[in-house]
Structure 1
Amino acid sequence: MKTIYQQRYQKLIDNLITARKQANLTQSEIAQRLGKPQSYIAKIEGKDRKLDVLEFIELCEVLQIEASVLIKKLEKIYH
């Protein structure tokens, strides 16, 4: 099974969405800060596009959240 369809990946994206909303940022605002079109964020949040590690870190930086915090949330769920 491709990782994009795995429950752990799905939860990671859900956590990114939650972090964006808690930061009171729109998809457009995040995309603008990354120099990407809004559709880039929409595809990630819609789980239509797979994030690589560096993209994940960049998103976390824009959201002002430590990447390790989101990863640790996954560890708590699956261990």
Structure 2
Amino acid sequence: MKVTDRQKKKFLQSLKQARIEAGLTQSEVARKIGKSQSFISKVELGITSLEVEVFLRLYQLYDKPAAYFFSAFSPK
């Protein structure tokens, strides 16, 4: 399956929105998962690839269902 730019953008928007809804800043998230604030920023902007292990930490931290993040890849 090829990931389109639109799907990637929607996925990254869901990551940022989940962080905001959790009431966390990029700096707070970075501290909680052992990364830098600039790393979180680069992930949210799509500059840095998101490793599975990091995504799982974010997933647990943001406390959202998997569908929240992966709806970007659902067929229309």
State TM-score, norm by structure 1.
0.78
Q: Does 1:31 align with 2:45?
A: no
Matched pairs, number: 75
Q: Which runs of 4+ in 1 moved over 6 A?
A: none
C-alpha contact 2:14 2:68 (8 A) present in aligned 1? no
Unaligned runs of 5+ in 2: none
Among 58, 69, 72, the residue aligned to 1:74: 72
Note the 1:51-62 alignment, pairs <5 A. 51-62=50-61
In 1, Cα distance between equivalents of 2:47 and 2:64: 23
In 2, Cα distance between equivalents of 1:36 and 1:53: 14
The AA in structure 1 aligned to 2:13 is D
Q: Deviations over 1:49-70 (max 9, x none)?
A: 1112222221111112233432
Unaligned runs of 5+ in 1: none
Percent identity for Structure 1 against Structure 2: 32
* Matched position secondary structure for 1:24: coil
In 2, Cα distance between equivalents of 1:34 and 1:66: 19
Q: Deviations over 1:26-73 (max 9, x none)?
A: 0000000001111110111121111122222211111122334321x2
Higher relative contact order (CA 8 A, sep 6+): 2
